[in-house]
């Protein structure tokens, strides 16, 4: 028996391993990760790790002793390069061919680069712990910081840089921050929150180039002709599923790995987390979710299905973000045409629960500094179990 091979050693891959052991699986498990670090949590990278409030060790998901207790063979700092479905093997960058009985792909995302991004110092992306540390090293000497992209990650980075006293400009082609995640009305509240803390917002603006001086970023050029001076630029314009190594595998790749309702991409091959796209059995919509909660819940379902549970994956989408002293939680999906209705708390005081509604249907429960209230409100969602 070749056991279970897990490619991707972040929270999704590790949770598969832990769930298999909890369910009594005693076979061989190998966990392969392309970073040399022990598995770590990604949400703190743009907050506690970036600001220096946490040491790196605090972001580790498990220490070495806990991993040893799982009886898992770790291959860290190794990259998967090819999958052969017929031979049931994965080829690594060191030339080894690893056989499997069941394969789990949990390779996550890669930052989306700008097509005109120059190779000069002072331009960063943030996906890995090494990215966070490189950015953290430069922040103390960067008086001016530009964030390109005002989604969740871009807003969190802006909040972290502002909390360290940097001058921050946040640029995005949409009219308000986090518009794709929470819509215009709540996005306007995010904008006001950042502006109160001194962030300069350039919404509705596109970036068309960079100016550099002596090999280092000096300014960001906007499409309307404005030039924004900066000492440091962070690009957060989205991510793409890390599936390049699977292009010749025979798996169906369509903005992720296409799976059935059981997260199965091929016989005995499963996908977990940000990289997995599956048809939600309740909504009927082809779905790919980019958040930590989905990675853990999906991993638990996949572990059960490896052990022949045949359990469809039916989550309620959920994400959260911490910016300054504000925690925002969203259960469900806020559609572009959603109406936001306050049901508890005080919006002016910055603590409330609201519902997003499309017609007569509640599509999301939103908590703004109100974790307990939003847990209760999520029961109103049509997709909630």
Contact 205/211 with Cβ under 8 angstroms? no
Residue matched to tokens 């017609």: 359
Residue 385 confidence (pLDDT): 45
Continuous segment of H or E residues that includes residue 303: helix 292-306
Measured CA to CA, the distance from residue 149 to residue 126 in angstroms comes to 12
- For residue 107, the Cα-to-chain-centroid distance in whole angstroms is 12
Q: 4-110+240-306 with 113-237: one CATH topology?
A: yes
Residue with tokens 């900066």: 230
Tell the CATH superfamily of the 113-237 domain.
FAD/NAD(P)-binding domain (3.50.50.60)
Q: How many other C-beta atoms can be found within 10 angstroms of the C-beta atom of residue 168?
A: 26
Nearest-CA neighbor of 2 among 30, 22, 24, 23? 30
| Residues whose CB falls within 8 Å of the CB of residue 323, separated by 6 or more in sequence, listed in order | 155, 156, 159, 190, 193, 194
φ, ψ of residue 140 to 5 degrees: the values are -60, -25
At 383 the pLDDT is 61
The rounded distance, in Å, linking the Cα atoms of 213 and 15 is: 46
| Residue from 201, 202, 181, 204 nearest 193 by CA | 201
* Radius of gyration for the alpha carbons in the chain, expressed in angstroms and rounded: 22
- Cβ proximity of 7 and 89 under 8 Å: no
Homologous superfamily of 325-380 in CATH?
Answer: FAD/NAD-linked reductase, C-terminal dimerisation domain (3.30.390.30)
Would you kindly state where each structural domain of the chain is located, as residue ranges? 4-110+240-306, 113-237, 325-380
**Which residues lie closer than 8 Å to 212 by C-beta, 6 or more apart?**
118, 120, 218
| Residue ranges in the chain modelled with pLDDT below 50 | 385
**Terminus-to-terminus CA distance in the chain, angstroms?**
37
Q: Which fold has domain 4-110+240-306?
A: FAD/NAD(P)-binding domain (3.50.50)
DSSP 147: E
């Amino acid at each position: 028996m070749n056991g279970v091979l897990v490619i991707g050693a972040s929270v999704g891959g590790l949770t598969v391993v832990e769930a298999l052991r909890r369910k009594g699986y005693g076979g061989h498990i190998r966990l392969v990760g392309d970073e040399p670090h022990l598995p770590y949590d990604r949400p703190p990278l743009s907050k506690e790790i970036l600001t220096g409030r946490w040491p790196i060790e605090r972001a580790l998901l498990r220490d070495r002793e806990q991993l040893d207790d799982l009886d898992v063979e770790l291959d860290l700092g190794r990259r998967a390069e090819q999958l052969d479905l017929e031979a049931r093997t994965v080829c690594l960058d060191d030339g080894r061919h690893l056989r499997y009985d069941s394969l789990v792909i949990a390779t996550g995302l890669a930052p989306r680069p700008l097509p005109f991004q120059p190779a000069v110092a002072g331009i960063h992306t943030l996906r890995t712990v090494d990215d966070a540390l490189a950015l953290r090293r430069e922040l103390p000497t960067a008086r001016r910081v530009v964030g390109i992209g005002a989604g969740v990650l871009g807003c969190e980075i802006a909040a972290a840089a502002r909390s360290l006293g940097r001058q921050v400009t946040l640029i995005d082609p949409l009219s308000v921050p986090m518009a794709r995640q929470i819509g215009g009305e709540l996005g306007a509240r995010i904008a006001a929150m950042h502006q109160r803390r001194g962030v300069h917002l350039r919404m509705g603006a596109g970036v068309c180039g960079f100016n550099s001086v002596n090999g280092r970023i000096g300014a960001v050029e906007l499409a309307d002709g404005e030039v924004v001076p900066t000492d440091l630029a962070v690009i957060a314009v989205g991510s793409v599923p890390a599936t390049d190594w699977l292009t010749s595998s025979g798996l169906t790749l369509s903005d992720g790995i296409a799976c059935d309702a059981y997260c199965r991409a091929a016989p005995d091959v499963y996908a977990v987390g940000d990289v997995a796209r599956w048809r939600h059995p309740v909504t009927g919509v082809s779905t790919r979710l980019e958040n930590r909660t989905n990675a853990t819940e999906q991993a638990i379902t996949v572990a059960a299905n490896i052990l022949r549970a045949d359990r469809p994956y039916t989550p309620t989408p959920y994400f959260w973000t911490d910016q300054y002293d504000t925690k925002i939680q969203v259960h469900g999906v806020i559609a572009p045409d959603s109406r936001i209705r306050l049901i508890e708390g005080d919006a002016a005081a910055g603590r409330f629960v609201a519902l997003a509604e499309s017609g007569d249907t509640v599509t999301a429960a939103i908590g703004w500094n109100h974790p307990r209230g939003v847990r209760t409100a999520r029961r109103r969602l049509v997709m909630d179990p």
